[in-house]
Amino acid sequence: MSILKKIERYREEEERLRWEGTFEEYLELIKEKPYVTQTAHSRVYNMINDAGVEEKDGKKTFSFFKEQIYGLEESIEQLVEEYFHSAAKRLDVRKRILLLMGPVSGGKSTLVTMLKRGLEQYSRTDRGAVYAIKGCPMHEDPLHLIPQHLRADFQEEYGIKIEGHLSPLNMMRLQEDYGGRIEDVQVERIFFSEDKRTGIGTFSPSDPKSQDIADLTGSIDFSTIAEYGSESDPRAYRFDGELNKANRGMMEFQEMLKCDEKFLWHLLSLTQEGNFKAGRFALISADELIVAHTNESEYKTFISNKKNEALHSRIIVMKIPYNLKVSEEERIYKKMIDDSDLAHVHIAPHALKVAAIFTILTRLKETTKSGVDLIKKLRLYDGESVEGFNSQDLVELKNEHTDEGMGGIDPRYVINRISSAIIRKQLTSINALDVLRSIKEGLDQHASISKEERERYMDFISTARKEYDTIAKKEVQKAFVYSYDESAKTLMDNYLDNVEAYCNKNKLRDPLTGEEMTPDEKLMRSIEEQIGISENAKKAFREEILIRISAYARKGKKFDYNSHERLREAIQKKLFADLKDIVKITTSVKTPDESQLKKVNEVIARLIDEHGYNSTSANELLRYVGSLLNR
């Protein structure tokens, strides 16, 4: 479908969704769909839930955030459950400003933007539909038309609680345009749009000395004073401040804590009572979510100022730390590169992973837990199994430092260094060593890093390099195994035959000669030693394997190469150990003979076809691993 056809279809859909009628007709509509009267906080919470929720091990993952925000599942669960859910139930937290606090480039702005774009889309759905008094610049809730003395009766009849009172402008219009007949007041469906300033507002402070409160609450239209005769006539007032326009939806308050405290005082009434003062009018009701964001140092400065105490209790602080999972950090880099003009550059496998390892190391804090270094901690956080540690250890590690992830290297720095390496060297292909080299060079130019931090970060680059060395050797050795899966299966079957004979105290029969043979202890130990199974522990390990095979058989499942993680690892290591010398010789010979050259070309082809390399990065990997093995 062409883009013009899609635009036409979008326009037709919006026209189909439009609704206009009297207040009387609106009351009939809410009898059928009472959910359209939900509060701003409730609408946000329902929007997030309607997108889908997955629950695993007591932890919730919200699909609404999955495509844009990575590795912050716990922070998002806390935000949704402790703030949005409570606020949707009309608990007191809805009377608080939501302040997202975290380091730069940690996802705060992305999260707020997602909420804004999400509300725009949600207001076009049946569940997220919003109705307002027609012609109202603040798109006021039509239920405000119900007089205060009748609201208890209304709640009894409709089961809907009304909060807030009619604005000065609509009070005047009710009398002058409709003769006080509430049932005749026109109501329309509205669609949230930040561009059209409907239900979504964004406020960014300027110079505190010149900042005008009118930017928030609107201002007098002096050109109409002569026509209406008074500044207190609501028709002479422009209800066009961000608080006015964000009514029924949400307002993003950028850099809120940089504002002058006198300017912020205007939020006190809005947060506590749900109304604000504008012009020479009574308090104006507003139902909106106010989201601000800041970094830790600004927040500490703010709370240390005694003048801000009144606002302290009206703020809910939610920490948005950096992601601490290597796999999710990789996704962040991949997304940032895909969104840039660098998407055409070939990035070798594991290049982003190695950068992520370095970055996560800078964000982690040392633990006092015995036997856990930062690399083990990094693996546990990323969901890898680490021998000797379980899920309870992971919980203890996460609870040890409440501020973990609030510092370290940000994703933008890494992407900037990758960009620098590509552009400066005119590269069309970049590997892990290029990335680490560029990150290292950039540390000297990073103004906010102290000398001590720089030394620490240099150590982390060395650690990330060692991790890459292990990955690179495995990659090449795996590619050298011709028909790798077949070789692994053959070796495993041979091992299992011997284990079964050993445990059952049986003999094996030679398939060629038919002779009886004792189980091959040397073969079994050569595999078990790869994963540190001691002589004393070998019997228990072999019996465990047999029990697993029996359990699979009872369930009608076949025990294969992937059925036992530690056995698979042992088989891999054994195959790689046997091939090490072949790899070493083949990659280090400057003028390989015909058979060696054939082997190298086969490996390069396999790296390209099966592992995601191109010819440049595959050759670079092979040369590098050859140099490692020859050290």
Q: Is residue 611 part of a domain?
A: no
Residues 306, 369 within the same domain = no
Residue 207 has pLDDT above 80, yes or no: no
Q: CA torsion angle for 359, 364, 366, 370 (degrees, to 10)? A: -100
Strands (E), 205-339: 219-220, 237-238, 250-254, 275-276, 284-285, 289-294, 315-319
Predicted pLDDT of residue 270: 80
User: Hey, how many other C-beta atoms are within 10 angstroms of the C-beta on 537?
Assistant: 12
Residues 315, 334 within the same domain = no
Q: How far is the C-alpha of 81 from the C-alpha of 84, rounded, in Å?
A: 6
Residues 160, 186 within the same domain = yes
Q: Which residue type does 300 have? A: K
Residue 565 has pLDDT above 90, yes or no: no
Residues 360, 458 within the same domain = yes
Q: Is residue 475 part of a domain?
A: no
> pLDDT tens digits for 259-292?
777 677 777 778 777 888 777 787 888 899 999 9
| Dihedral pair phi/psi, residue 113, rounded to 5° | -60, -40
Residues 455, 496 within the same domain = no
Name 245's Cβ contacts closer than 8 Å, sequence gap at least 6. Answer: 137, 138, 197, 198, 199, 200, 201
Beta bridge pairs of residue 276: 284
Last residue of a domain, one of 319, 354, 369: 319
Q: Are 266 and 216 in contact (CB under 8 A)?
A: yes
Q: Is residue 476 part of a domain?
A: no
C-alpha to C-alpha distances, 218 to 221, 278, 352, 434, 552, nearest whole angstrom: 9, 7, 48, 54, 71
Last residue of a domain, one of 265, 299, 319: 319
Whole-number average pLDDT of the chain = 88
208 pLDDT tier (thresholds 50, 70, 90): low
Q: Is residue 579 part of a domain?
A: no
Residues 499, 463 within the same domain = no
Residues 533, 555 within the same domain = yes
Task: Tell me what the mean pLDDT of segment 491-512 comes to.
Answer: 87
Sheet holding 315-319, edge to edge: 200-203, 250-254, 289-294, 97-101, 315-319
Residues 341, 303 within the same domain = no
| Of 207 and 285, more confident | 285
Q: Which two tokens stand for residue 410?
A: 């940000």
Q: Is residue 245 part of a domain?
A: yes
Q: Is residue 591 part of a domain?
A: no
Residues 158, 252 within the same domain = yes
Q: Is residue 86 part of a domain?
A: no
14 pLDDT tier (thresholds 50, 70, 90): confident
Q: Which two tokens stand for residue 364?
A: 């982690």
> pLDDT tens digits for 69-108?
999 999 999 999 999 999 999 888 888 899 999 998 888 9
**Spatial CA neighbour of 265 closest among 201, 312, 202:** 312
Q: Is residue 454 part of a domain?
A: yes
**Cα-trace Rg, the chain:** 33
User: Considering Cα of 170, then 176, then 177, then 180, what sign does the dihedral take?
Assistant: positive
Q: For the chain, how many structural domains are there in total?
A: 3
CATH of the domain at 307: 3.40.50.300
Last residue of a domain, one of 299, 319, 339: 319
| Dihedral pair phi/psi, residue 61, rounded to 5° | -120, 130
Residues 112, 189 within the same domain = yes
Q: Are 135 and 440 in contact (CB under 8 A)?
A: no
Residues 161, 123 within the same domain = yes
Q: Are 531 and 570 in contact (CB under 8 A)?
A: yes
Residues 337, 447 within the same domain = yes
> pLDDT tens digits for 284-336?
888 999 999 888 888 888 888 887 787 888 889 999 999 999 999 999 999 98
Predicted pLDDT of residue 446: 76
User: Hey, how many other C-beta atoms are within 10 angstroms of the C-beta on 90?
Assistant: 14
Residue 589 has pLDDT above 70, yes or no: no
> pLDDT tens digits for 407-434?
999 999 999 998 888 887 677 889 999 9
HSE (side-chain half, CA atoms, 13 Å) at 404: 22
Domain enclosing residue 32, as ranges: 19-38+95-319
**Spatial CA neighbour of 504 closest among 523, 514, 519:** 519
Name 159's Cβ contacts closer than 8 Å, sequence gap at least 6. Answer: 34
For residue 321, the 8-state DSSP code is -
